[in-house]
Each structure stands twice: as C-alpha cells, then as structure tokens.
C-alpha cells in the first residue's frame, strides 16, 4: 500500500452542461472547488496536492489553495483539452515522493475522507480503486435516433462511478503512457487502468458524492454542505464593480465604495450619457453598498458586479490593488 499520497484535483472544465465554468461558483459560503481542497488536504495520508485549472484561474486558485492546504505543497497547473489530458498534466508535476495517486473531480464537493481512506486501503501494485454507488434505476440502452429501447441492463451488475480514482504512481503512469502511445481516449482514469489489465476495485461511497453538473445541483449540494463545518479562509472574494450614474452622483457613489473598504479604480466620463465608475469591492460588503446605492439611485443609475480575484481579508483598510493583467 502506498505511504505518500498525492491528490490531483481536476478543475479545468468549461462547464458546458452547467452553462459556464463552475469551479469558482460560490456554494455554502466558499468556491465550489474549495470544499474538495479542504477535505483532501486535511487527510494525513495526502502529502501533496495538484490543482489542474483553466489558465485564467491559475492565480486565483493558487491563492485559494494556499489558504486551505494547511501548509502542504500545492501546485496549480494548466489543464489540457480533455479531462484525460488534464489528469496527465497533474501527474506530470506531482512530487516524486508520492507513490500513490488519487484523481478527483473538483466539481464533487461532498467527498468524504472516510470513503477516500477506504479506497486507499485496497490499493497496491496491480490493483486500483474508485468510489461509486450501486445503480438504483433500471437502465435501458436506447437507439439514439429513434429513442427506441434496444435492451435492458441488469442493474444488479451496475454501479455509478465517482471520484477519486486511485492507483499506485507506477500503475497510473503506465496507464497514461499506454493511452498516449495507442491514441486511446477514456472518460475516466479507471478505464485507462482497466485497459492495461489492472484489477480495479469498486469501493462503496456516499451517494452525496455527486458531481455538480447542472445549475440546480448547486442548491442540493449547498443544502448538504451547510451541515458541515464552514470553510474559513484568510482570503476574501473581490468583485469588479461597475456603476453607471449621472454626473452629480459620482462623488457620492465613490464615497460609498470607499466607506465599504472598496477601491475606486477609474472614472469614465466619455460615455454618451452618464458616467461609469469602476471599482473593486469585497463580496462581504456588497449588500451594505447596495443598500446605500439604492438610496442614492434614480432611474438612470445602476451597477453590475463580476468576480475578480481573491485577496487577503481586511477589516477596515482599503483593498489592495487588483492583480495586473
């Protein structure tokens, strides 16, 4: 059994079914991927972490993972065009001391350390493991073009695969090398391990370890996560705020931003009508700003916000400058 485990969290997807990238969607008070980072970093067996990310999120995830990893080494690396390529990218940078590897979907925030530990216990050279649950529905094979049932599968033999999926470093390296050599693609790492002849053991896990795939999944996951200990962090989420106001209200809006420890970044008076005020504001201060903004507002006044970055949490001093670029 491996003694030093490396955890690779794949968080590089575009979220096509979700409608947008979801790794940093807030859920129960923290970004979606933060819950997996905290759970896996909190396991003594896990000595190193790698987060695989979209390029535009590398800086943000580096700050987030640093605040949650408990001092354990954590690398954030750019993902590939497919999940398989992203897993390989994580494996390539994982510390050489890790003789066991687990690969987890960052969109599964409810994974339990106890389930992961049960899977770790069955892994050795020649044997891999993954988490999963028995299928409870009757599964039909359907001809796609006609929606005609072709056959019914025996659900007694069917399990729904989850992550993490685990193997020794040697076996997982070999599985990915063979896939590259033979131009083979697979939806998960367990399939690659099966193809090189490994024994792959299914380990029963909590059904709550589902993947957040559609927007409605967020509410379900948030309900379950609120029962757990909240994530505390020395980072706060910083929003890019853009307010569109008449000229007479510019000074008052800027004052309200600064009163909420925000930072005015620019004022654009060259618009056809009104003025655009650009600023950075901590998400925890947004509600108070919105109340004051509403008191100032008229029919020509509005504002929008978008996620910008994470920054060290402050109580009363103005925000640090936003990251360049």
The whole-number mean pLDDT for each consecutive block of 10 residues of the chain, a chain of 325 residues, reads: 96 63 84 94 96 92 90 95 95 97 96 96 97 95 90 94 98 97 94 97 97 90 86 75 92 93 93 91 88 80 82 57 49
For residues 103 and 221, membership in a common domain is answered with yes
pLDDT (0 to 100) of residue 88: 97
Task: Kindly give, in sequence order, each residue whose CB lies less than 8 Å from that of residue 176, ignoring residues fewer than 6 positions away.
Answer: 84, 87, 88, 91, 192
Q: Is residue 325 part of a domain?
A: no
Are residues 55 and 18 located together in one domain of the fold?
yes
Other residues' Cβ atoms within 10 Å of the Cβ of residue 274: 18
Are 62 and 199 part of one and the same domain?
yes
CA 225 – CA 35 distance, rounded (Å)? 9
Q: Are residues 169 and 283 in the same domain?
A: no
Domain that holds residue 274: 235-312
Q: Is residue 148 part of a domain?
A: no
254 shares its domain with 203: no
Q: What is the pLDDT of residue 164?
A: 98
- Domain boundary (192, 225, 258) is at 225
Q: Verify that 216 and 242 share a domain, yes or no.
A: no
182 and 248 share one domain: no
- 196 and 289 fall within a common domain: no
Under DSSP, the state recorded for 318 is: P
Pull the structure tokens for residue 322: 């936003």
Last residue of one domain, picked from the residues 194, 225, 256: 225
Rounded to 5°, the CA angle 96-101-103 comes to: 130
323 is a domain residue: no
Same domain for 130 and 12? yes
Q: What is the CATH number of the domain that holds 245?
A: 3.30.70.240
Looking at residue 325, its pLDDT comes to 43
- CATH number reported for the structural domain that contains residue 78 in this entry: 3.90.550.10
Which of 291, 260, 231 has its CA nearest to residue 29?
231
Whether residues 274 and 162 share a domain: the answer is no
263 lies in some domain? yes
User: What is the H or E stretch that residue 42 is in?
Assistant: none
In a domain, 65, yes or no: yes
The pLDDT assigned to 324 comes to 46
78 CB-side CA count, 13 A: 4
Which residues lie closer than 8 Å to 87 by C-beta, 6 or more apart? 8, 10, 52, 103, 176, 189
Please indicate, yes or no, if residue 54 is contained in any of the structural domains.
Answer: yes
Do 80 and 161 lie in one domain? The reply is yes
Q: Is 318 inside a domain boundary? A: no
For residues 75 and 61, what is the distance between their CA atoms, to the nearest angstrom?
9
8 A C-beta contact, residue 130 and residue 153: no
Whether residue 132 sits in one domain with residue 241: no
Residue 319 lies in a domain: no
Instruction: Choose one of 203, 225, 247: the last residue of a domain.
Output: 225
Give the pLDDT of residue 322: 52
The pLDDT, as a whole number, for residue 321 is 53
């Amino acid at each position: 059994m491996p003694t030093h485990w490396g955890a690779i969290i794949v968080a590089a997807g575009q979220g096509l079914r979700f409608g947008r990238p979801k790794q940093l969607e807030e859920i129960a008070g923290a970004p979606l991927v933060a819950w997996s980072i905290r759970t896996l970093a909190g396991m003594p067996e896990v000595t190193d972490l790698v987060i695989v990310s979209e390029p535009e999120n590398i800086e943000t995830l580096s700050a987030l993972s640093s605040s949650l990893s408990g001092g354990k080494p954590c690398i954030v690396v750019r993902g590939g065009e497919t999940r398989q390529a992203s897993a390989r990218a994580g494996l390539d940078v994982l510390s050489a001391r890790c003789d066991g590897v687990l690969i987890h979907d960052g969109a599964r925030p409810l994974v339990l350390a106890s389930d992961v530990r049960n899977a770790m216990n069955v892994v050795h050279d020649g044997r891999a493991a993954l988490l999963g649950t028995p299928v409870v529905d009757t599964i039909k094979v359907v001809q796609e073009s006609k929606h005609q049932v072709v056959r019914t599968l025996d659900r007694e033999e069917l399990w729904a695969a989850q992550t993490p999926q685990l193997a020794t470093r040697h076996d997982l390296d070999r599985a990915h090398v063979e896939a590259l050599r033979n131009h083979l693609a697979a939806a998960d790492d367990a399939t690659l391990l099966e193809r090189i002849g490994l024994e792959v053991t299914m380990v029963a896990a909590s059904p709550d370890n589902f993947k957040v795939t559609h927007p409605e999944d967020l509410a379900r996951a948030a309900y379950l996560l609120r029962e757990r200990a909240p994530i505390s962090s020395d980072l706060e989420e910083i929003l890019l705020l853009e307010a569109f106001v008449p000229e007479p209200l510019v000074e008052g809006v800027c004052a309200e931003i600064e009163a909420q420890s925000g930072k005015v970044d620019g004022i654009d008076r060259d618009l056809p009508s009104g003025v655009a005020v650009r600023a950075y504001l901590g998400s925890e201060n947004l509600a108070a700003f919105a109340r004051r903004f509403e008191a100032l507002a008229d029919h020509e006044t509005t504002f929008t916000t978008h996620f910008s970055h994470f920054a060290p949490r402050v109580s009363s001093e103005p925000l640090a400058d936003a990251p360049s670029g």
